[in-house]
Structure formats: structure tokens, C-alpha cells
Amino acid sequence: MSDWRRWATRMAHSVERRVDETRARLAGAQRGARRIVAYRGFGNADEVFASGRVLANPPPAQGSAADGWWRNLRTMLRHLESDEVPGARVQLAIAGTRRDAVTDEEGFFRLWIRPSRTLAPTQLWHTVGIEVTEPIHPDADRVQADGLVLVPQPSARFGIISDIDDTVIRTDATRLITMLRRTFLENARTRLPFPGVAEFYQGLHAGDDGTDANPIFYVSSSPWNLYEVLDEFLTVQSIPLGPLMLRDWGLSERGFLPRAHSEHKLGAIRQILETFPALPFILIGDSGQEDPEIYRDVVHRYGGRIHAVYIRNVTRDPARARAIGELADEVREAGSVLLLSDDTLAAAKHAAEHGWVGPETIRRVAAAVSSSAARPG
């Protein structure tokens, strides 16, 4: 970064901090915590990663299928206008171990914990108790939450890492106006996943015989402020839940903008793969941004651990399809496979051929895709 950009970044960060401090003074002598947004974490038998955010504003209301665009817009703006609590002291507890953390300037806490008791191997999710010890908002009594961390069971044969926007849910990230309309004027109950995604992910999670409990991780460049929206969407649409690894869009001393899309995704994927060194993975993304290139790099770096790369074709650009075809050749030479497809069914059939999902998954995905195609409009 050049000297002038470094200076400008620091000045902008200083202005933002002063604005936050002024808001805190207007709200009272001390802006205290009202709630904790506990993010789904993950780990192994030795160590788990827990994270979340401490906020001073109350939670926005959940949406309903009957909400109009104005209500959806208002709710989304409330999600984006987070009132973070920097410097809050947080205590986390799991399996007989307690650890303390302090939130950063954007209200985030992140912590690796070594449980003193063995986590039950028959459980996929384990509870982390989280409590803010100070400062507490005058209107709040105790600020507590239960976080969840995923620890793959011995039955897991592989893991899944999936993008969200234009992979699970139609966003049209390459078309700004359409993307903004979908994001701001709809909600978790009115937006729909691509046909067959829920059935396919359920099949991958269950595995060929239905008992694998293969873990699913979601890596997206969406901001952390949308965590609750995306988590609600997965729940409502019956898509298997997993840790969501999103991106901090706040201004810091490091720069005006969030980390680059590829830098963020590669970092998150590396963290997952290195936490579970014995587990192979399936990678799922779309052609709209850099997923094929990012996943190609992952295949090269972790040769032999990537079963397959599934890319949804959302660009309809022949040049882009040719470029991805060249990437598929690279992936094949590196010992894996990259499949570019227009719908979920092609990926599901490929997975079934390799024993990663059962035949019932194919029937369910085919029915979902066929039903969607038959709908008017």
C-alpha cells in the first residue's frame, strides 16, 4: 500500500472511530451489550473455534412470506446498521473449560478453545455457552447466548465446502441492480434456493447409506451483518446447517474495503482443510465470480483431497465457459474433476456415480428440478 493510501486509510478509520465514540456518548456514558450474535463454529476432538459479535442494538424482526418490499428494506437496513460494542469482555465455556475474550473494534470475538473433557463422538454439534461480563446495557439484565461448534463424527467420509450467492441462492451478483433488489427487497422466506439444492445438500450430508453426517461449510463474501439472514434462509429452506464463514466489511486501519474475494475465500478454505487434515472435500460454487479459479488453486495446493469441484453456470457467456473448460483440464491433470453444469441434477448424478449420494437423492433432486421447470413464469 502506498504512503498516501496508508495515510488516507488511517484518517478514515480515525473518523469512523470518532463517529462511533460520539454515537456512544449520545446513547449514554457507556454503550453496553444488549445481545450476542453467536456464529456457528467448528473444530476437532482437540480444539474448537468459537466466534461471534457483541451488539448494542436489539435484533431486527424476522421476516415473513407476507412482508412487502418496504418492510423487507427496513429490516435489511437494520441488519446492516450494526451497533457494535468494542472492548466487551466475553466468557466462553465448553466441556469443562472456560476462556475469556475481548471484542475488537468491530465487536467481534474469535477464540480457539481446548476442551478439558472429551467431546461426545456421537454428536455433530456441541454447545458453547457465551456471556458478556461487561459492559452491559442498562436495559439488559444478563447478556448470554448458546453458540454451536461442529465436530465431524467418525462416520463422516468427506466434507463439503459451498459458496452461497448464485450457488445456493439466486443473487445475480454480476448484475448490480438485480442483486440489490433481491438482497434488500426480499427476505429469507420469500427468496428461494436454486431447484434441487436442498435435496442435493441433504443427500451429500447423509451420504450414500444415509448415516455419514458429512459436514457442510459455507464460505461467502457476504458481510457478517447478513449472518442471521443467511442462517434463517438455510433453516427455512431445509438446507443442512453448517458454519458460515463470511467477510468483515467494516473499515479498519488495514484498508477501506473488505479483504479481496479470493483472499478471503482461500483463507477460509485453508482453515477448514487444515483443521481436518484426514478429511477429503467436495467444493461447490458458481461461474459468476472467481470460484473456479479459487477452487483450481485449492486442488493444486491440496492434491488428492478434493473429490470434485461442482460449478453452477450462471453467466451464459461462451468465453467464460471456455475459460472454465481450461480450468477443468488443469483440475483433471491435478487428479480431481471440475464439472460445469446448468442445474443441480448434473452434479447430483455425478456424485451418485461416485457413491457420494444415494439413488434416492437423484430422484428427489430430479423431482425438484422438474417441478420448478413446470411452474409458470
Residue 55 included in any domain: yes
| Residue 247 counted as domain residue | yes
pLDDT above 60 (res 295): yes
Where a domain ends, among 121, 150, 179? 150
Regarding whether 212 and 130 lie in a shared domain, the answer is no
Contact 352, 359 (CB under 8 A): yes
Going by C-alpha positions, the residue among 82, 74, 83, 288 that lies closest to residue 184 is 74
Mean pLDDT, rounded, for 330-339? 96
Distance CA 138, CA 148 (A): 28
The answer to the question of residue 163 being in a domain is yes
| Same-domain status, 61 and 95 | yes
| 18 belongs to a structural domain | no
The CA dihedral of 217, 218, 223, 229, to the nearest 10 degrees, is -100
- Say whether both 310 and 223 belong to one domain: yes
What integer pLDDT is reported at residue 181 of this predicted model? 66
**% of the chain beyond a pLDDT of 70:** 80
Average pLDDT over residues 264-287: 96
Q: Which of the 8 DSSP states describes residue 347?
A: H
Range of the domain at 131: 31-150
Q: Does 343 lie in the same domain as 268?
A: yes
Residue that wins the pLDDT comparison between 19 and 92: 92
**pLDDT for the residue 11:** 36
Residue 225 lies in a domain: yes
Query: In which residue are the cell numbers 448464485 written?
Result: 166
Question: Which domain-ending residue is among 81, 116, 150?
Answer: 150
CB of 78 closer than 8 Å to CB of 55: no
In a shared domain, residues 131 and 193? no
Mean pLDDT over 325-340 rounds to 97
Q: How far is CA 30 from the centre of its chain?
A: 32
Last residue of a domain, one of 82, 115, 150: 150
Instruction: Assess whether the previous peptide bond of 277 is cis (omega < 30° from 0).
Output: no
Contact 129, 94 (CB under 8 A): yes
Q: What is the mean pLDDT of residues 255-265?
A: 66
- Judged against a pLDDT cut of 60, whether residue 373 lies above it is answered with yes
Number of domains in the chain: 2
Is residue 144 domain-shared with residue 59, that is, in the same domain?
A: yes
- What is the sign of the dihedral through the CA atoms of 300, 302, 304 and 307? negative
Q: What pLDDT digit, counting tens, does each position of 177-219 carry?
A: 665 666 676 667 777 889 999 999 999 999 999 999 999 999 9
Instruction: Indicate if 320 and 199 belong to the same structural domain.
Output: yes
Statement to judge: residues 187 and 325 lie in one domain: yes
238 and 143 within one domain: no
Angle at 258 between CA 270 and CA 181, to 5 degrees: 110
As a whole number of angstroms, the distance between CA 229 and CA 307 comes to 30
Question: In the prediction, which pLDDT does 23 show?
Answer: 47
- 136 and 240 both lie in a single domain: no
Tell whether 16 is covered by a domain. no
The residue with greater pLDDT, 71 or 166, is 166
Residues 118, 166 within the same domain: no
Q: What is the CATH number of the domain that holds 43?
A: 2.60.40.10
Q: Assess whether 79 and 39 both reside in one domain.
A: yes
What is the domain-level CATH number for residue 283?
Answer: 3.40.50
Sheet holding 125-134, edge to edge: 97-102, 89-94, 125-134, 143-150, 35-43, 48-55, 108-113
Res. 352 pLDDT band, cuts 50 70 90:
very high
**Is 86 within a domain?**
yes
Does residue 223 sit within a domain?
yes
Dihedral angle over CA of 174, 180, 184, 185, nearest 10: -100
Q: What is the pLDDT of residue 63?
A: 72
22 pLDDT more than 90: no
